[in-house]
């Protein structure tokens, strides 16, 4: 049974005339008649009672008609749904990002994407780079913003560098500024400072601890184990200082003092990643383009 045969059958059933049905579906009348006969042979039953000037449906034709209409309607729906996806009117993008990037980088880009493609659903997975790489590998994400370099190679991923992000020290204005109290501090000035530290597995934790150890001291934690919002809240409360991305510090509102780190300072490299063996969906590729052009 062919899709085209069902179209011809419905046309004849609705017009009750082979010639008018052929005109309706834009095919020669002999071709339409041949396809109807082929459909009848396939089904093993006559679909029409053919009398001069009077075409009526047989019982088999009456049974087939609603089913054929449903099949044709489902095909139209499928065609429409695919066109909606292709033209970016509907769909879904699953994007992973570290909490600091969700706070700093993503809001403006996602707002621009949503304004342009309001029918695309955005699903955001907030986690550390290690977890995001694992989610990408198992197909649970289309794209992820991760921090490079990865602790272990991930050959199944394709990555492109997005930005090099400056890190700063944030503290409460109610307590002395880190170091000598100026606008710039050195990593060495954090020795003896009480720090608010992120949980294990957080890229910023590992980077900060490694920088302190490179200066010959172990950082002193006042509080540890929080996510970005919790860390900023503890800093505002005066529990200690924290090393965070400048974009996060700029967006965090009042209640924080921002101190730059002296050159060479601290930076981290943000990359956009996806599986190298699977092309991202059209909507995800469009979000990827907007992130790269930001």
The structural domains of the chain, with segments of one domain joined by +, span 3-71, 82-162+270-293, 164-268
Q: What topology is assigned to 164-268 in CATH?
A: D-Maltodextrin-Binding Protein; domain 2 (3.40.190)
Q: What is the pLDDT of residue 84?
A: 75
CATH of the structural domain 82-162+270-293, one choice from 1.10.357.10, 3.20.20.70, 3.40.47.10, 3.40.190.10: 3.40.190.10
Grade residue 112 by pLDDT with cuts at 50, 70 and 90. very high
Contacts 24+ apart (CB under 8 A), 232-237: 232/170, 232/256, 234/196, 235/170, 235/171, 235/172, 235/196, 236/172, 237/172
d(CA 236, CA 257): 9
From 2-11, 78-87, 109-118, the region with the lowest mean pLDDT: 78-87
26 φψ region: left (φ > 0), alpha (ψ -120 to 50), beta (else): left
d(CA 60, CA 47): 6
Grade residue 78 by pLDDT with cuts at 50, 70 and 90. confident
Q: Tell me whether residue 212 is exposed, middle or buried, using C-beta atoms within 10 angstroms of its C-beta: 0 to 12, 13 to 18, 19 or more.
A: buried
d(CA 160, CA 270): 9
d(CA 65, CA 8): 11
Higher pLDDT, 191 or 52: 191
pLDDT mean over 145-158:
81
Residues forming beta bridges with residue 50, ordered by sequence position? 55
d(CA 68, CA 88): 30
Grade residue 178 by pLDDT with cuts at 50, 70 and 90. confident
Q: What is the pLDDT of residue 181?
A: 67
pLDDT mean over 211-221:
95
pLDDT mean over 170-180:
87
Q: What is the pLDDT of residue 100?
A: 82
What torsion do the CA atoms of 138, 143, 149, 150 make, to the nearest 10 degrees? -10
C-beta neighbour count of 244 within 10 angstroms: 26
Same fold yes or no, 82-162+270-293 and 164-268? yes
Percent of the chain residues topping a pLDDT of 70: 99
Residues 27-62 as b/e (b if ≥16 CB within 10 A, e otherwise) read: beeeebbebbeebbeebeeebbeeeeeebebeeebe
Q: What is the pLDDT of residue 151?
A: 66
Pick from 63-77, 83-97, 144-158 the range whose average pLDDT is largest: 63-77
From 2-11, 39-48, 199-208, 263-272, the region with the lowest mean pLDDT: 199-208
pLDDT at 128 over 80: yes
pLDDT at 62 over 70: yes
The CATH architecture of the domain made up of 3-71 is: Orthogonal Bundle (1.10)
């Amino acid at each position: 049974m062919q899709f085209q045969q069902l179209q011809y059958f419905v046309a004849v059933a609705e017009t009750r005339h082979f010639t008018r049905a052929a005109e309706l579906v834009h095919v020669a009348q002999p071709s339409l008649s041949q396809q109807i006969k082929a459909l009848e042979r396939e089904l093993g039953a006559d679909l029409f009672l053919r009398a001069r000037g009077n075409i009526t449906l047989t019982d088999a034709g009456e049974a087939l008609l609603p089913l054929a209409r449903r099949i044709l309607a489902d095909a139209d729906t499928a065609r429409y749904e695919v066109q909606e996806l292709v033209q970016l009117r509907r769909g879904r993008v699953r994007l992973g990002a570290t909490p600091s990037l969700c706070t700093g980088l993503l809001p403006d880009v996602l707002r621009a994407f949503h304004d342009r493609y309001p029918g695309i659903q955005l699903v955001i997975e907030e986690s550390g780079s290690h977890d995001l790489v694992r989610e990408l590998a198992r197909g649970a994400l289309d794209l992820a913003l991760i921090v490079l370099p990865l602790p272990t190679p991930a050959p199944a991923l394709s990555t492109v560098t997005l930005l090099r992000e400056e890190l700063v020290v944030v503290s409460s204005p109610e307590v002395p500024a880190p170091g000598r109290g100026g606008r710039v501090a050195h990593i060495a000035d954090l020795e003896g400072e009480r720090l608010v530290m992120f949980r294990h597995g957080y890229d910023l934790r590992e980077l900060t601890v490694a920088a302190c150890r490179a200066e010959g001291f172990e950082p002193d934690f006042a509080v540890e184990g929080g996510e970005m919002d919790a860390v900023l809240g503890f800093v505002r409360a005066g529990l200690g200082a924290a090393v965070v991305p400048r974009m996060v510090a700029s967006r965090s509102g009042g209640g924080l003092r921002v101190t730059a780190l002296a050159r060479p300072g601290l930076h981290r490299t943000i990359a956009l990643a996806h599986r190298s063996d699977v092309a991202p969906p059209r909507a995800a590729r469009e979000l990827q383009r907007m992130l790269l052009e930001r």
